[in-house]
Amino acid sequence: MASSLKGIKVIELAGLAPGPFAGLLLADYGASVLRIDRPGSVNADQLTRNKTSITLDLRDENSRSVLIRLLTAADVLIDPFRPGVLERLGLSPTEVLLKHNPRLIVARMTGFRRDGKYKDMAGHDINYIAVSGVLSMLGRAGEKPYAPGNILGDFAGGGAICFQGVLLALISRSHTGRGQVVEANMVDGSAYLATFPRLARQTPAWGEPRGQNLLDSGCPYYDTYETKDAGKYFAVGALEPQFYAALLRGLNLDPKKTPKREDRANWPALRDIFTRRFKDKTRAEWEDIFDGTDACATPVLEQDELEASGYEQRPIVHLASTPAAPIQADQGGWSGGVLVPGDGGAETLRVWMGWEQDKDFTPSKKVISPLSVPVRASLHQLYALLGPPEWQEITKTLTLISPGISDASSRSRGAPITGTANYLAANPATWEKTWALWTGIVANVPGCTGVTGGWMVEPVDGYSPCFVTVLTQPQCGFAEYSTRQTGLEGTLSVVFRIDQSFCPTKERPVKVLFSPRPNSPPLKVQLPIL
């Protein structure tokens, strides 16, 4: 059974979250998505399901020529760059690309409006929802606005809206035979998502300041409550009278003795009653009470719980006749693999264009990672040897360090060392296995003689006199590798992050320390190619 977008060819210029998410949605529904990476880049993007990659340096005329040739056969180009970048590269959608292929759909994804006040400024999700007016709606009364991760701007108002625009352009092309430029930006996207609360400001439902309305945590029967087991919560959304009555029954509250909810002056008292009552039982006990009822009361489940329970991640919509690719084929939707620049692209071009690499096209030269095939094999071997439960325990809670680290070093690193020492004392066989494997891995890294630190799991505070940790920014998907001179002369440390597919918890990316030979040049280590 063919997927809806089977046969659609998409070229995705590598970028941060929104563009890759639009490409992921297209790939999930059957499109063939080819990502264009810069040569020598280390792309930490995990939104790579069913995609392939080639490397092209678009600053180079030959690479641009290859891209234009590809675009003559493509259906969609995803442009994630800031305004003016394609134009400066000589790849203007209207002046160049659509003239080569009038059927092409150029999906341009920016943060701010391309023609707006902030068009020349850098920004992130929080900035886009800030100037859209959405951020001002989020937060509790008397507190500052809060940003709900980067879900609203980057993904809901960005990548998903861009995906929508591509689908609309494909429908239009089926009637007109012509492609077009699709402009999407996260300011307009998130503002559009907030249409209901924006209009509701003219009604009693949302006419009060932030955090004092029916649906923004102002209302006590539309809020979350901590249960007896600290850190666990229940969500309540009992808006309609019949659902509210079911909520009171579940909480064992007498409606006649409970303050009337219709009077907003009673809301603080109601909130206090609900807060104290939910504290009487654990979340599991409340689940037993409310499951199967119409009280609109449900547990606040965490990602780890869902993963452990085998919860099935599914595509955003089910199409009976033209289904999407099953997400569960990708480790249940819980583990996104990193697509190495250049991986799989040659086969895609053979299928799309009939091209043969180095005959019909030549990828831009890549920087070869010093991590050789034996290193990759060792990483897989290590994971297989420990097994998922043991690996997860280590990566989630411990900082593993080399044997023989000094007392002074231990003091400088503080509490994490104590926890590690206790674990290693209780699990000597694990340490022997892991240490032997890591020393074997290091032997395959040019310029390295040993490991000064084993795994280092974020967050890491402080540093020892033996080595320095240079933190990256995993929350932004970056993988920045750098060296720093420590207090001991001749000691250089290099930090790099293991591919996150080896950290099943996905909570804390793993980092490893290597020490080059004394007086050797700084060692540049790339993300392992796994």
Whether residue 164 is found in the same domain as residue 237: no
Neighbours of 183 (CB within 10 A): 18
- For the beta carbon of residue 374, count every other beta carbon within 10 angstroms: 14
**Residue 21 lies inside a defined structural domain of this protein:** yes
**Could you write out the three-class secondary structure of 379-400?**
HHHHHHHHCHHHHHHHHHHCCC
Pair 177, 295 in one domain: no
Q: 365 lies in a domain?
A: no
Domain of residue 156, residue span? 9-193+339-353
Residue 321 lies in a domain: no
Looking at the structure, do residues 286 and 428 belong to the same domain, yes or no?
A: no
Classified as helix, coil or strand, 235 is: strand
Convert the pLDDT of each residue in 164-190 to its tens digit.
Answer: 999 999 999 999 999 999 999 999 999
pLDDT at 336: 64
Residue 312 lies in a domain: no
Alpha carbons 37 and 40: distance in angstroms, whole number = 9
CATH code (residue 159): 3.40.50.10540
> What pLDDT was estimated at residue 263?
94
- Helical packing angle, 428-442 and 415-426, nearest 10°: 110
CA angle 85–337–315, rounded 5-degree value: 85
Give me the pLDDT at residue 389, please.
53
**For every one of its 530 residues, what pLDDT tens digit does the chain have, with 9 covering 90 and above?**
678 999 999 999 998 889 999 999 999 999 999 999 988 766 667 788 889 999 999 988 989 999 999 999 999 999 999 999 999 999 999 999 999 999 999 999 999 999 989 988 989 999 999 999 999 999 999 999 999 989 999 999 999 999 999 999 999 999 999 999 999 999 999 999 999 999 998 888 888 999 999 999 999 999 999 999 989 999 999 999 999 999 999 999 999 999 999 999 999 999 999 999 999 999 999 999 999 999 999 999 998 888 788 777 888 888 888 878 777 644 556 666 667 788 899 999 999 999 888 787 777 764 333 333 333 333 444 444 445 555 444 443 333 332 222 222 332 333 333 344 444 445 555 545 544 444 444 444 333 333 333 332 222 222 222 222 222 222 222 222 232 323 222 222 333 333 333 333 333 333 333 333 333 333 333 322 22
Looking at the structure, do residues 146 and 241 belong to the same domain, yes or no? no
Q: Go through 112-135 and write b for each residue having 16 or more CB atoms within 10 A of its CB, e for each that does not.
A: bbeeeeeeeeebbbbbbbbbbebb
In this structure, are 266 and 186 located in the same domain? no
Q: What is the tens place of the pLDDT at every residue in 120-155? A: 898 999 999 999 999 999 999 999 999 998 999 999
Q: Clarify whether residues 257 and 171 are in a common domain.
A: no
DSSP for 447-507?
TEEEEEEEEEESP--S-BTTB------GGGT-----EEE-SSTT-EEEEEE--GGG-TT-S
Q: What values do phi and psi take at 239, rounded to 5?
A: -75, -50
Residue 211 lies in a domain: no
With respect to residue 386, please indicate whether it lies within any of the assigned structural domains: yes
**What's the CATH code of the domain at 239?**
3.30.1540.10
**Residue 396 located in a structural domain:** yes
Q: How many domains does the chain have?
A: 3
**Closest residue by Cα to residue 151 from 142, 160, 143:** 160
Tell me the CA distances in angstroms from 493 to 268, 467, 468, one per residue in order.
55, 6, 7
Q: Give the pLDDT score at 189.
A: 96
Are 77 and 13 contacting, i.e. CB atoms less than 8 angstroms apart?
yes
Q: Are residues 87 and 156 in the same domain?
A: yes
Catalytic residue among 125, 154, 216, 499: 154
One domain for residues 131 and 14: yes
User: Is residue 364, in this structure, part of any structural domain at all?
Assistant: no
Same domain, yes or no: 158 and 129: yes
Task: Transcribe 68-123 into DSSP letters.
Answer: HHHHTT-SEEEE-SPTTHHHHTT--IIIIIHHH-TT-EEEEEESS-TTSTTTTS--
Judgement on whether residues 100 and 241 belong to the same structural domain of the protein:
no
Question: Same domain, yes or no, for 379 and 347?
Answer: no
Write the CB contacts of 422 (distance below 8 Å, at least 6 apart in sequence): none
Whether pTM > 0.85 for this model: the answer is no
Residues 68 and 170 in one domain: yes
Contact (CB, 8 A) for 181 and 106: yes
Question: Annotated catalytic, 499?
Answer: no
> How many residues are there in the chain?
530
